[in-house]
Amino acid sequence: MMSAFLAELVKAVKRPAMWVLVATWLALMLLFSYALPYAGYLTDDGGPATAQAALREALPDQLVVNALSGTPVFGGAIVLIMGALMVGSEYGWGTLKTLLTQRPARLTVLGAKLAAVVAAALGVVLLTFVVGAVVGAVIGAIESQPASWPGIVDIVEGVASGWLITSMWALFGAALAFVFRSIALPIGLGVVWVLGIENLVSSMADNLLTALRPLRDVLPGVNAGSLVSELTSGAQVGAPSPGVIAAVGGGRALLTLALYVVAFVAASALVLRRRDVS
Amino acid sequence: MSTHADVLVETRDLVKTYGPSVKAVDEVNLTVRRGEVYGFLGPNGAGKTTTLRMLVGLVRPTSGRVTVLGRPPGAPDGLARIGTMIESPAFYPYLSGRDNLRVLARYRLLPRRDVEVVLARVDLTDRADDRYDTYSLGMKQRLGVAAALLGEPELFILDEPTNGLDPAGMRDMRALVCELGENGHTVLLSSHLLAEVQQICGRVGVISGGRLIAESTVDELRGQAGLRVVANPLERAVEQVRRVVGTGVVEVRDGAIRIQADPARAPRIVRELVAADVQVMEVGRMERTLEEAFLEMTGDQS
């Protein structure tokens, strides 16, 4: 399977659309986590205290907060599209037929493909941390701030949690693509789910209909937000990002996300194994 | 008589249905023997591609049995020995031809140098670094064949490999398939070009309406060669011919007598006609092409 996995990685790395998505995500992260707070500090519109708080948001000690805060919602949507593209295109181009008539069995092809999806998610998280670290360090140096970084354990926990969250969303996109055997529908439905339905249910459960809370507490985005909240609430200096809420405890969120990963892999395996490929 | 080891592809009572009413493949019994170039013919929608898909495990049969290289369809050790091109070639548009083949070579656990060998074999080396989506239809087809050639498989399953090729490309493809056959490879070839199949294939199977309606050598399918005689007066000529060859094999069509008999009997027939004072204007050998035989069998559905 290793050889097939490497083939899948080559396909992902050489695909321009993947880099467009990565660039979009990094641009969003830089804009909202670094550029806008730093612009707020420079313009000093809210007074000195607010400006100082804004500057702190963009400094290296906020690395884990800044890298993870977008993953439950916007980053989730981006990697969901990535997962849907990596699988759905095989149906669109008819290349799944080409792959399945090579040597590996169907489940090996599936394993290689999903491993590549998860590897791409790790790549996104690592790039997010690296780019965030560099930009934070540059801002710190420009403003002559003391270099203060999160502890190594916090960074490793942050990367691992970010990887779990982005993997879950990317595998969600991949599973939708396996089920619908296309690209457009999985992306449409997935993005509506991440950006729309989860927020709607969450908002209604908070304000209008508390009976919805048990349902809210099992939603993938809510659990992703809860895990990020658990990891960052102590270090966060600004307001939490959209989707970062402490709805459930960190342990439960971790377990729920892991179960979603298993469920999406199982759903993908089930449909690929059983269905005819035409 | 062929032994079990000589049979590379065998289907028994193979059935594929879609929903309650559509029977795409209906009890097909197909046998492809080692070393032969087998033509798989049928009108559009006859069930050719569905059958080929079942042979490589893309589509699961509703019932019946399939073995390919002694293994169930889709088994990894079987697939590794099969070169396949089902319907149109399908590759990644953003990758070059070379990178596409490298991806497949990784999947087949083959070294990179194999990619260069097959690129050269289909004459694509010069354009191998260009993106696949810039290729012409013929180049895409050649890349599909190159992919099928990866790893020197024992069995080739090629579905319409000449689609989109210009006359020179078709000639090259014909030569390639012949070469594969001459080198001892087994080829299962689906094609609409019956003149090509007649030249290339030793045996053919004809599928129509999901059923395999004939499986035999090309010569058997075309039937015995006969004679065509134009003579005057026609009635007396028919009477004399029937006296020589029997009544069941003589018919009059378009003002000529068509005789299903060995052409070597022509001298005797002519002698008898002349002796009966019949004027013989024309005597010729009459042979059905594969296309004529095919159209007759399939009721001109193609």
Q: Are strands B37-41 and B63-68 parallel, antiparallel or unpaired?
A: unpaired
pLDDT at B107 over 90: yes
Q: How many CB pairs under 8 A join A and B?
A: 86
Q: In whole angstroms, what is the distance from residue A271 CA to residue A265 CA? A: 10
Q: Is A71 helix (H, G, I), strand (E, B) or coil?
A: coil
> Token pair for residue B180?
């594969």
Q: Is there a contact between A4 and B76 if contact means CB atoms under 8 Å apart?
A: no
Percent of chain A past pLDDT 70, that is, above it, reads 98
Q: Considering only CA atoms, which of B40, B1, B9, B31 is closest in space to residue B218?
A: B40
Q: Are strands B155-159 and B22-33 parallel, antiparallel or unpaired?
A: unpaired
Q: What are residue B65's DSSP bridge partners?
A: B12
Task: State mean pLDDT over B131-144.
Answer: 91
Nearest to A16 among B74, B76, B94 (CB): B94
Q: Is there a contact between A103 and B53 if contact means CB atoms under 8 Å apart?
A: no
Q: Is there a contact between B74 and A14 if contact means CB atoms under 8 Å apart?
A: no
How many Cβ atoms sit within 10 Å of the Cβ of residue B235? 10
pLDDT at A69 over 80: yes
pLDDT at B302 over 70: no
Percent of chain B past pLDDT 70, that is, above it, reads 96
What integer best gives the mean pLDDT of chain A? 91
Rounded to two decimals, the ipTM of the complex is: 0.89
Q: In whole angstroms, what is the distance from residue A64 CA to residue A62 CA? A: 6
pLDDT computed for residue B248 by the predictor? 60
pLDDT at B247 over 70: no
B216, B208 Cβ separation under 8 angstroms: no
pLDDT computed for residue B52 by the predictor? 94
| Contact A2/B at CB under 8 A | no
pLDDT at A63 over 90: yes
pLDDT computed for residue B67 by the predictor? 94
Return the residue in A20, A101, A181 with the most chain B beta carbons within 10 A, the one to mutate for interface testing. Answer: A101
Chain position carrying tokens 């966060």: A236
Mean pLDDT: which of A72-76, B98-102, B158-162 is highest? B98-102
Using pLDDT thresholds of 50, 70 and 90, give the confidence band for residue B83: very high
Chain A residues closer than 8 Å to B57 by CB: 100-101
SS3 for chain B is CCCHHHEEEEEEEEEEEECCCEEEEEEEEEEEECCCEEEEECCCCCCHHHHHHHHCCCCCCCEEEEEECCECCCCHHHHCCEEEECCCCCCCCCCEHHHHHHHHHHHCCCCCHHHHHHHHHCCCHHHCCCEHHHCCHHHHHHHHHHHHHCCCCCEEEEECCCCCCCHHHHHHHHHHHHHHHHCCCEEEEECCCHHHHHHHCCEEEEEECCEEEEEEEHHHHHCCCEEEEEEECHHHHHHHHHHHHCCCCEEEECCEEEECCCHHHHHHHHHHHHHCCCEEEEEEEECCCHHHHHHHHHCCCC
> Token pair for residue B123?
């004459």
> Token pair for residue A206?
């908070």
Chain A residues closer than 8 Å to B59 by CB: 276-278
> Token pair for residue B81?
């020995």
Q: Is there a contact between B91 and A277 if contact means CB atoms under 8 Å apart?
A: no
Give the domain range for residue A261.
2-274
Q: Is there a contact between A95 and B90 if contact means CB atoms under 8 Å apart?
A: yes
> Token pair for residue B95?
């990758």
> Token pair for residue A224?
């992703």
pLDDT at A244 over 70: yes
Q: How many residues does chain A have?
A: 278
Nearest to A93 among B75, B90, B109 (CB): B90
**Minimum distance, in Å, between the CA of residue A195 and any CA atom of chain B:** 30
Q: In whole angstroms, what is the distance from residue A155 CA to residue A161 CA? A: 10
Q: Is there a contact between A103 and B92 if contact means CB atoms under 8 Å apart?
A: no
Mean pLDDT: which of A143-147, A236-240, A258-262, B156-160 is highest? A258-262
**Minimum distance, in Å, between the CA of residue A2 and any CA atom of chain B:** 9
Q: Is there a contact between A7 and B92 if contact means CB atoms under 8 Å apart?
A: no
Task: For A126-149, write each residue's pLDDT tens digit.
Answer: 999 999 999 999 999 998 888 889
Q: Which residues contact A99 (CB under 8 A, 6 or more apart)?
A: A90, A109, B104, B107
Task: Rounding to the nearest 10 degrees, give the CA dihedral for residues A189, A190, A195, A199.
Answer: 90
Number of domains in chain A: 1
Q: Is there a contact between B59 and A16 if contact means CB atoms under 8 Å apart?
A: no
pLDDT computed for residue B5 by the predictor? 64
Q: Is there a contact between B93 and A93 if contact means CB atoms under 8 Å apart?
A: yes
Using pLDDT thresholds of 50, 70 and 90, give the confidence band for residue B147: very high
pLDDT computed for residue A115 by the predictor? 97
Return the residue in A10, A15, A102, A274 with the most chain B beta carbons within 10 A, the one to mutate for interface testing. Answer: A102
Q: Is there a contact between B95 and A105 if contact means CB atoms under 8 Å apart?
A: no
Strand ordering across the sheet containing B7-18: B22-33, B7-18, B63-68
Q: Considering only CA atoms, which of B50, B66, B72 is closest in space to residue B14?
A: B66
Q: Which residues contact A220 (CB under 8 A, 6 or more apart)?
A: A168, A169, A172, A198, A256, A257, A260
B interface with A, Cβ–Cβ below 8 Å: 53, 56-60, 74-76, 79-80, 82, 84, 86-95, 99, 102-104, 106-109, 147
pLDDT computed for residue B150 by the predictor? 94
A168, A260 Cβ separation under 8 angstroms: yes
Give the residue, B166 or A186, on which the prediction is more confident: A186
Task: State mean pLDDT over A185-206.
Answer: 90
Using pLDDT thresholds of 50, 70 and 90, give the confidence band for residue A237: low
Chain position carrying tokens 């398939």: B177
Q: Is there a contact between B107 and A103 if contact means CB atoms under 8 Å apart?
A: yes
pLDDT computed for residue B1 by the predictor? 47
pLDDT at B65 over 90: yes
